Structures are given as C-alpha cells and as structure tokens.
Copies of this chain bind each other. A is one copy, B any other.
Amino acid sequence: MENPFVRKMERHVRLASEDRAILDGLARQHIRHIAGRQDIEGPHTEPYHTHLILDGWACRYKQFPDGRRAIVALLLPGDLCDPFVFRRARMDHAIGALTPVTVARITPDQIGDAIRGRPAIEEGLWREMLTTTAIHREWIASVGRRSAIERLAHLFCELHLRLTWAGLADGTSLPMPVTQPDLADALGQTSVHINRTLKELRTSGLVALRSRRLTIRDLDGLRERGLFDPAYLLPA
C-alpha cells in the first residue's frame, strides 16, 4: 500500500525509484499518533519539526480571544504541515487534529537531505507549495464572494480531487470525517447553516453524506453549483 505523500508527489513530477524510496523513508520514521481535537502544533510556538500527515485530517486554524475559530486550511493525508519550517520562527496560528491523526515527524535536515542532488524532489515540493498557495487564494475568493451553497459545493469538489490524488477516494465517494461545526469554521458560517445547506445539496440530488462518507451523485452538477474550476489545483 503506497503512501499518500508519494502518490501526490508523483502527480507533480516523474520520480525515479530512488526518489520514491527517499520520500517513502521520510514517511516511515518517527511515527506519532495524535488524538482527535488535540493540537499537533500550538500557537506561538517555534517548531523545530514539521509533520507529514499519514492518516486522519487536521487543520490550520486561528483562534480569536473571544473563542471564535477560523480554519484557514485543511490538512489531508499526504500533506506536509509546513514544508519550509527551517525558515520560520514563531507560529502565528495553530495546527490541530480534527480526527485521530497519524503523522511522521520530520526535521529540516531531513528535507534538506532529501532535496540535495534530487531535483525531482525539489521540484515536487515546490509545486506542492504553489498548489497550497493557490488553494489559499481560492479560499479567500470563496469566503469572500461565494454563497453558502456555492462554498460548500466548491469545498467538496476540492476535497474530491485532493483525496483522489492522494489515492484516498473511491471514484466519486470520499471520506468526510469532520463534523459540521468543523465545516462551519472552515467556510466562515455556523453549523446550523451548514446543516441547512447540506440538506439542500442532498435534496437536489448532488451529494449524499452519511457515516462520515460523502458520495457525489452528480459531479458536473456539483461543480457547476460551486463555480468550481479545477485549474487552480494544477500547477503544471
């Protein structure tokens, strides 16, 4: 069973088998398990390690003094929490596990070693980073200018592709292990309204969601509903 990180990298660049072995090695060292709802990296810390998500979902979030929470990114299996830790000092946000999560802890040196003399890996990490940035832009546009249904439909489309590329979707059916309050914090709404919107997507026959699994019944319809254009996810 290939690991999701390697699969994703292979979408960006052609990897030699040695490249693949190096990346796979990163994912097999210093494995840690983190309980759901725990922080992987707290706010205001100066982390020395980065983490590669192997299983479960996490998020990058900001917490306001009065308790409001904004989820600014979702981290799925195969995602690197911070590919370039070695440049950064203080965290201006936190990283939290939304479900129980398995991670591999990686040091800056290990990333440096993996890149050295392996241009494919370097290029792959770059593209990964550019894709992440493109997702950020799309989220700003989404929260700023898409309606509730459009936002939710768009997010589902994004997750569908990201999980597919990590080898974790089964055709048009994908894991969706987060709660409605989590979705709400990611989309800038309330859980009540997420629930309403979900119902509307369901009754219009676009998706089905039960027991933590989303099934897209009408992919084209869902994409249209969310004004989804996959171009932003394809840095090639």
Contact = CB atoms under 8 A, between A and B. Distances in A.
B136 A140 contact: yes
Contact of A87 (B70, B88, B130, B141): B130
Contact of A64 (B88, B134, B227): B227
Interface string A58-96: 001010110011111100000000001001111011000
A236 B92 CA distance: 11
A187 B136 contact: no
B136 A70 contact: no
A143 interface: yes
Interface residues of A, number: 42
A5 interface: no
A185 B133 CA distance: 20
Contact of A130 (B70, B88, B145, B186): B88
A41 to B, nearest CB: 14
Given A134-B92, A231-B92, A64 B145 contact: yes
A137 B87 contact: no
A235 B89 contact: yes
**10 tightest A-B CB contacts, nearest first:** A144-B188, A70-B141, A92-B232, A70-B145, A72-B140, A136-B136, A143-B143, A62-B141, A72-B137, A70-B144
Given A72-B141, A89-B236, 13 more contacts: A62-B141, A65-B227, A68-B145, A70-B140, A70-B141, A70-B144, A88-B235, A90-B234, A92-B231, A93-B137, A140-B140, A143-B144, A144-B188
